[in-house]
Amino acid sequence: MVTKRIPLRKCAGCGQMKPKKELIRVIRTADGAIEIDATGRKNGRGVYLCPDPECFRKAEKNKGLEHSLKASVPEEVYRQLEEEIKRIGQ
Ligand SMILES: [Zn+2]
């Protein structure tokens, strides 16, 4: 039996550790844009979230995104990310 090491990441909303590929990665790119990294391969400071709007709202409330990305996240970016997470979570 082969046991594979599954890389775990912490959701910025609920704080649970989950396999990286079950989470959504949000990154801040070199030019300061905050976006969802669907491929998981983009460079930049990243933060992970469950594909669950509830976790997103928690992360918004506790400023988890701001802390992890070390940047302020404008309201319109939050709304845009929330829409994308809703789509992904469906
Ligand atoms: Zn979560």
Residues around ion ligand 1, judged by CB within 5 A, are 11, 13-14, 50, 55
How many Å lie between the centroid of ligand 1 and the Cα of residue 1?
30
Confidence grade of residue 71 (pLDDT, cut at 50, 70, 90)? very high
Asked if the model's pLDDT at residue 5 lies above 90, the reply is: no
Asked if the model's pLDDT at residue 48 lies above 90, the reply is: yes
Q: DSSP letter for 28, please.
A: E
How many Å lie between the centroid of ligand 1 and the Cα of residue 25?
12
In the numeric block, which tokens belong to residue 90? 């469906």
How many Å lie between the centroid of ligand 1 and the Cα of residue 17?
8
CA 48 from centroid of its chain's CA atoms: 3
Using CA atoms, how far apart are residues 17 and 82, in angstroms rounded to an integer? 21
Residue written as tokens 């930049």? 44
Nearest C-alpha neighbor of 70 from the set 36, 49, 47: 47
Confidence grade of residue 59 (pLDDT, cut at 50, 70, 90)? very high
